Amino acid sequence: MQILLSSIINHNRKYTKEGEVATYIPELSKADKNHLGIYVVTLDGEEYGEGDYNVKFTMQSISKVVTLMLALLDNGPEKLFEKIDMEPTADTFNSISSLETRNPQKPLNPMINSGAIATTSLIYGESSEKKIERILKFTRRITGNKDININYDVFKSEKETGHRNRALAYYMKSTGVIDGDVEDILDAYFMQCSMEVTCKDIARIAAMLANNGLLPWSGERIIPAHYARIVKTIMVTCGMYDESGEFAVKVGIPGKSGVGGGILAAVPNRMGIGVFGPALNKKGNSIAGLKVLEELSRELDLSIF
């Protein structure tokens, strides 16, 4: 495995030259586009890292997987899916249009920004501080990494420039999708996106999902198996936004990307994978990260289809 990962990272380094790091959150433009790393946690207890797997990056949209799990634990699927739908979209991750044109006016799914902001609004905690405290605690428990924290420079940068998310949230307040103080909910959302991790952390979250909600290394149950199934299914249909179809064909693993350059991939009953490469394509997904996952899936026959 180590040799395979090393050769996959070497082959695909050339793709780090393609695409651009995210700039719409100014602080993210400081990322080094040459970085490329992978970490694999198998369900039988093996762990392997290659390339820049120790470099920290912010979770961004990968955090939506964590908040979906926590919102499911807090509310149950019935209440959650009353507010947020479970349908894929061909629009971009921060699209506004369907919020007005669809009836009922639910955000399409918990992975796009509108649905993720609504998901965060459902997490218990009367203020953004309380919510983020619980989100951090939950993330640290899954990963076993007590040092996971918020990158406050990224948080401030997104809070100052996140007008599109602000528009989505105020629109959802007007239609009754979200209750409560909009700015406070946005603060919690911007903070969850700014949680700083490495490939190892996201591989561990993925391994728990791959293992049907149990931490493979301790046997501790984090979420019920049927919640893990819901989350993985939504990752397949919606995790890579308007590139989810292509990802399903070429990689075939439940996955979730973030504009920090990370991708979390959970191979059911086999392994959790975390990859990182900050240069993105137009759809907000890591170009080299996608190539790495495509090659690994082909070599190890990981597609679930």
Q: Which residues are annotated as a binding site for substrate?
A: 61, 113, 158, 165, 189, 241, 259
Smallest distance, Å, CB 268 to ligand DON?
Answer: 22
Which residues are known to be catalytic? 61, 64, 189, 241, 259
In the window 125-164, what residues touch ligand DON (CB under 6 A)? 158
User: How big is the site for ligand DON, counted in residues (CB under 6 A)?
Assistant: 13
Compare residues 110 and 284 and give the one whose CB is closer to ligand DON: 284
In the window 192-251, what residues touch ligand DON (CB under 6 A)? 193
Site pattern 87..106 for ligand DON (x: CB under 6 A)? ------xx------------
Q: Is 297 in the site for ligand DON (CB under 6 A)?
A: no
Strand partners, 71: none
Q: Is 113 in the site for ligand DON (CB under 6 A)?
A: yes
Q: Is 121 in the site for ligand DON (CB under 6 A)?
A: no
Backbone φ and ψ of 50, nearest 5°: -145, 155
Q: Is 284 in the site for ligand DON (CB under 6 A)?
A: yes
| Termini Cα distance of the chain | 22
Are the C-beta atoms of residues 59 and 192 closer than 8 Å to each other? yes
Please give the residue ranges that form the binding site for ligand DON (CB under 6 A). 60-61, 93-94, 113, 158, 165, 193, 257-259, 284-285
